[in-house]
Structure formats: C-alpha cells, structure tokens
Amino acid sequence: MLGKSLNNFVPPVPPGWDLWFGRGSVPAGTYETNYFSFTAANVIRVAKDERRPFFMWLGTSAPHRNVDPPSRYADAFPNVTAPRPPSFNEEDVSGKPKWLREKPPLSESEISGVDEQYRTRLRTMLAVDDLIGRLVKRLRKSGELENTYILFTSDNGFVMGEHRRPQGKWSAYEEAMRVPLIVRGIGVPEGRTLPHMVLNNDFAPTFAALAWAKTPSFVVWRSFAPLLMSPWPPSSKWRKAFLEEGPRE
C-alpha cells in the first residue's frame, strides 16, 4: 500500500499488507507524488527480482484542493478555464431541492476561483501522469507489463461551479458521483467503452477473480472481470440501478 489510505489514518497498519508506505513516510521537502512514483517503481523491481506476483494499491493525494503542483508544472495551462456545462452556475433552479434553490448564483470572484483551482488540479495531475508512465515503463522493463492488470480510478467526483456550487462533492449529482475507471490488462480490448454500471464496491471481488483467489464470504458485491474481455455480458444482464445517498447541505 502506497500513498493515501483513510483520512486521518494512524497506525497500526491493518493486517494483510507486506509493505505499507503511507503519507507519513514521505521525507520532508519531497514532493509526495514523486516519492510514491519512485517508491512504487522500486517495489515492482523487487517483486520481479523475487519472482513473485504482487498487488499494489497506490493512492495519490492529487488532485485534492490542498495539493500544490510540482515546480516543473507550476505554469502549465495558463489560460484554461473549468468546463461550462449547462449545469454550471445554473440560472433556473426552480425545480431543484430547497438547499440548492436557496443558493445565490456564483459571483465573478467565485467563478475566477473555480478556474484557478481547476488549473491547479490539472497541474497536479501532470505529476500523476508521470507516475503512471514510470510504472508502465518499469513493468515493461521487468517483462511483466503484459501479465499485469492496471486499474485507474478515483473515490469520488468533484463539483466545480456546477449547480451554483463553487467546489466540493457531498451530493448525488453526476459531477460528484461519477468517477473514471480505466483498465489495461490481459485480454482487455483497446479503446472499448462499456455502459455497464460498476461500483467501487466491486473492486475486491474483481481483484480476487483476476488473481484466481477465493472471495471471502462477507463480500456481497460482484466481480466485473467478465466485462474486461470479449464476449462481455449484455447490459440487460447487468446492474440496472443503485442507491446514491448523501448528507444535506
């Protein structure tokens, strides 16, 4: 396990992990994403030398609001603004929940802050992109790239100006609820996008299935391993709905 675990995590380390490099292991003055990038690449090298399979969970703090970009990308995207979908700073909120109807439209200052934070998030993600590139390069060098599944995802989306909210999550709107899920690995067709509903609750049984391991009896969600290779189940045979809840504003 490398990077961010639970918020406010304190030891002891949960059982089942051979190596644990939490955020507290980052040396002072070291850019966090860089540290986990090099540490993860070294873990892959050691696993190859020891000729054993491995599972790695790598969670970066980027692009959280309190993460600054590395100096090499501090001036990237100078003129980029946050996306302006129809939900951005909505003019008509008459059909929305009471907590949203009571919100005033965003001010010019708030919109300017949204754009600046969006640029900062993009800059921090350039370092995450470097991290992924380094891991792929290390896997290729070790000869294990074609024998490894790589899953890229997140824990939540983020509102940036949509629904009159300058920043945040904590709502059941699409912008806060949806997350990316990109999978590269054995038998996964390149460039294929599926409409099937997958939840992060499904990760544990999926990892177990890919590793030919037995899923513990308390895991009640479903593996999405069948979606990673053709032929995949039709949407009609898959999850059609799920419940999304959140606290009131």
The pLDDT tens digits of the residues spanning 89-120 come to: 999 999 998 989 999 999 999 999 999 999 99
Regarding predicted confidence, which is higher, 171 or 181? Answer: 181
Domain ranges of the chain: 2-186, 189-249
pLDDT of residue 124: 97
d(CA 225, CA 178): 20
d(CA 117, CA 126): 15
Which CATH number applies to 2-186: 3.20.20.70, 3.40.50.1820, 3.30.1490.100, 3.40.720.10? 3.40.720.10
Share of the chain above pLDDT 90, in %: 75
Q: Phi, psi (5° rounding) for residue 29? A: 85, 0
pLDDT of residue 8: 82
In this structure, what is the dihedral angle of CA atoms 13, 14, 17, 23, given to the nearest 10 degrees?
Answer: -40
CA neighbor of 127 nearest in space, from 28, 56, 36: 36
Mean pLDDT of all residues in the chain? Answer: 92
**Measuring CA to CA, how many Å separate 157 from each of 15, 153, 181, 216?**
29, 10, 12, 29
pLDDT tens digits, residue range 140-149? 999 999 999 9
pLDDT of residue 249: 59
CA pseudo-torsion sign 138, 143, 145, 149? negative
pLDDT tens digits, residue range 22-59? 999 999 999 999 999 999 999 999 988 888 889 999 99
**In this model, does residue 248 exceed pLDDT 70?**
no
**Measuring CA to CA, how many Å separate 77 from each of 49, 113, 157, 180?**
40, 15, 21, 22
